[in-house]
Amino acid sequence: MRPGVISVPKSLTLAEVTRRLVEEEVHALFVSDDDGAVIGVISDIDLLAGEWLFTDEGSLNVMRAITAAELMSTPVSSVEISEPLEGVAKRMRREDIHRLLVTDHSQPVGVVSVSDIVGALGAQKVVRRTVREVMSSVIVTCRLETLLRAVARGMSERHSRSVVVVDAKGAPRGIITGSDLLEFAGDGKIEGVTAADVMHDPVTISPDDNLRAAANMMIRQHRHRLLVVDPGDPGATPLGLISTSDIMHEMAQPGSAWQT
């Protein structure tokens, strides 16, 4: 758990929410009412669906007027501080959520996220499965020349947090995540920007590495996902992606290192 709760007032505009996400280096912010009580949560994925990624003035004006209260998700999922970590992992998987507000006798005291659980997994002595067994072999890809607006639309439609950028031969050249798109929210500067302009180098891992190695690499590199490639031919078509969510799902499985 990370102590403390980062929140924003419900009246904050989406452009201001975007700036706070970048400044705090987080994927979501809690939304509070006038009395400071937490009433919702707003994430980078929520922002990806915004029509500010289009360039017509009408869409931009609409989005500029929207506040955190209008886009936030409710109710806020919470867990008591005494809940065992394996129970938290199971609940995240069951409810398909990435973070929980941690409370102590109903008072907010912190946040626990998928990344926190993966960090704990990295400290475990026994991990029984490999990256190959847990990774997602279905990945969303785009070409270097794909317009960023189309990338954002594809991520939103497919509920994907990342897109792998490939060249004409299918070789991986970079990766784009929801966080990479935040700087384009609200300012209309997305016109003409391509995937190649925004992508960053992916962090890669072998399919035969174990989950502890994957978790440790995520922690060291501050990444939520790793590109799985053949170590003998890293320029070939990617084999898949492994994310913090994939590892968390494995932790919740009967027979995993956390459940025995």
More confident residue, 135 or 117: 135
More confident residue, 253 or 78: 78
Other CB atoms within a 10 A radius of the CB of residue 239 amount to: 19
| Six token digits for residue 216 | 């440790």
Mean pLDDT of 2-12: 85
Q: Domain 131-251 adopts which CATH fold?
A: CBS-domain (3.10.580)
pLDDT at 3 over 80: no
* Spatial CA neighbour of 140 closest among 156, 155, 118, 150: 155
pLDDT of residue 227: 95
pLDDT of residue 212: 81
Mean pLDDT of 205-228: 89
pLDDT one-digit tens code per residue, 224-236: 899 999 998 888 8
More confident residue, 152 or 129: 152
Fill in the DSSP letter of residue 51.
Answer: G
Give dist(CA 30, CA 13) in Å, integer: 14
Give dist(CA 240, CA 9) in Å, integer: 39
Alpha-carbon torsion 47, 51, 56, 60, what sign? Answer: negative
Rounded mean pLDDT of the chain? 83
Evaluate whether 28 touches 134 at the Cβ level (below 8 Å). no
Domain ranges of the chain: 131-251
pLDDT of residue 59: 64
Q: Model-level pTM? A: 0.56
pLDDT one-digit tens code per residue, 43-69: 877 776 654 445 556 666 776 778 889
